[in-house]
Amino acid sequence: MNLDTNNMEAIVAMLMKELKKVENKEEACSCCEAKNGVFHSMDEAIAAAKKAQATLFASRLELRERIVNSIRETLKDYTLELAELGVSETGMGRVADKKLKHEVTIAKTPGVEDLKAFAYSGDDGLTVMELSPYGVIGAITPSTNPSETIICNSIGMIAAGNAIVFAPHPGAKRTSIRTVELINEAVRKAGGPENLVVTIDEPSIENTNKMMENPNIKMLVATGGPGVVKSVMSSGKKAIGAGAGNPPVLVDETADIEKAAKDIVAGCSFDNNLPCIAEKEVVAVDSIADYLIFEMQKNGAYLLKDEALIEKLVGMVLTNGSPNRSYVGRDAKVILKDLGIQVGDEIKVILAETTKDHPFAQKELLMPILPVVRVKNALEGIEVSKELEHGLRHTAMIHSKNIDILSKYAREMETTILVKNGPSYAGIGVGGEGHTTFTIAGPTGEGLTSARSFARNRRCVLVGALSIK
């Protein structure tokens, strides 16, 4: 071949182009325009996830372990970025608390070790019960913990052998997409299949409905308010519903009041009350109520006494009986400022004494406003707490040293999480024993979800052999 300068340049240009293709292959999906698991079309996203799940299921469990470890390793460098992005995009929450939420999610969401097998053996042989994947899971995620839920669901669902299609809240689009991209990066680093975790570039209720209807989606997991939980539960598919709560905290006369006050303010103000488990109302026995309020004030609570101002606050934060989005997850200081009260950064919670029928006590506000309802004694407190929890069976807290009251409260509240003598977040593994999750399934009964919640129980029977009893 005659290699003159022009030829050489053409060859070099061609080689550079091929090299670029190889480099970019890591970023772009080979079968479509998707990048890092983010698709334009819901149907294409689901088809790609289906393919990825087949590869994962055909691989060794070791690959799932590697992927989960890689998610933990990769995402731990992005906790601040995701926390900041979440707060700036949604306008809700506190960066430091969100960062901590990401850290515990990454460290304490169980992986493959959560899938325990079970065996029967005897004269008729050996039967093994195993936890097997569903296939492709459609996961609907909230605006209040967008990236935390995506990381938590991804770890548990991949550990159980599934691929995931995320349908995020449109108000947390950028945060959710960024999280899906980072998870894809982690899967790739571990040698896992591309598009194991996917989403779409324009999340909407329309697209979520499309996802729910797609026959390749074998399980639906909804983390959000009552509307979306109802919607997945009536889909005709296996569904996990993690819905709203209105967690009360009961304080009786035997409690360590100073500690109770501190824990309640800390739990209620954590991420500006966005977690569904956070203290939403205090039910206090009359004999200690004044002291409890005094101690809460010492720990960063601002007591609103003026009836007219309390009424004005009701008008500000509730619109037609629903929480006004512009105050959900906002700092107490900002809410008070709009009420005409200037306070410093040390104020994290707004307190107001109300009756049990007041909207502040009845509604899940998701903002650092904490009503205090007085009761004669602990027994009345249990009744009032039950009424305020509305039978959602979500979360409740109690501060007491009386074991009879602790037992009665725990039995009668029937909540998925019950925290005794600690802040609400102890219930999700922050300063309390147990794993972390941001999908707490009260309505469908899985409770604090983990890998095993996203797996099917299957029985494999070998007849007449292999028992060594």
Give contact residues for ligand NAD (rule: CB under 6 A).
140-145, 167-170, 205, 208-209, 223-225, 227-228, 231, 242-245, 276, 364, 438-440
Distance of closest approach, residue 38 Cβ to ligand NAD, in angstroms: 16
3-class DSSP assignment, residue 119: strand
Minimum CB distance to ligand NAD smaller for 302 or for 425: 425
Distance of closest approach, residue 438 Cβ to ligand NAD, in angstroms: 6
Minimum CB distance to ligand NAD smaller for 259 or for 452: 452
Interstrand relation of 301-304 and 197-200 (parallel, antiparallel or unpaired): unpaired
Distance of closest approach, residue 417 Cβ to ligand NAD, in angstroms: 10
Distance of closest approach, residue 424 Cβ to ligand NAD, in angstroms: 12
3-class DSSP assignment, residue 376: coil
Distance of closest approach, residue 194 Cβ to ligand NAD, in angstroms: 24
Distance, CA of 246 to chain centre: 16
Interstrand relation of 301-304 and 349-353 (parallel, antiparallel or unpaired): parallel
Distance of closest approach, residue 292 Cβ to ligand NAD, in angstroms: 25
Cα angle for residues 96, 100, 103 (degrees, 5° grid): 140
Minimum CB distance to ligand NAD smaller for 239 or for 285: 239
Decide if 415 contacts 267 (C-beta within 8 A): no
Tokens standing for residue 348: 């994290």
Decide if 415 contacts 389 (C-beta within 8 A): yes
Minimum CB distance to ligand NAD smaller for 212 or for 378: 212
Which residue number has the CB closest to ligand NAD?
A: 224
Tokens standing for residue 244: 């709203």
Distance of closest approach, residue 266 Cβ to ligand NAD, in angstroms: 19
Tokens standing for residue 292: 């409890």
The amino acid that residue 246 corresponds to is N
Neighbours of 161 (CB within 10 A): 24
Minimum CB distance to ligand NAD smaller for 354 or for 415: 415
Decide if 199 contacts 39 (C-beta within 8 A): yes
How many Å from the N-terminal Cα to the C-terminal Cα in the chain? 77
Minimum CB distance to ligand NAD smaller for 300 or for 371: 371
Minimum CB distance to ligand NAD smaller for 164 or for 276: 276
Residues 6+ positions from 61 with CB-CB distance below 8 Å: 112
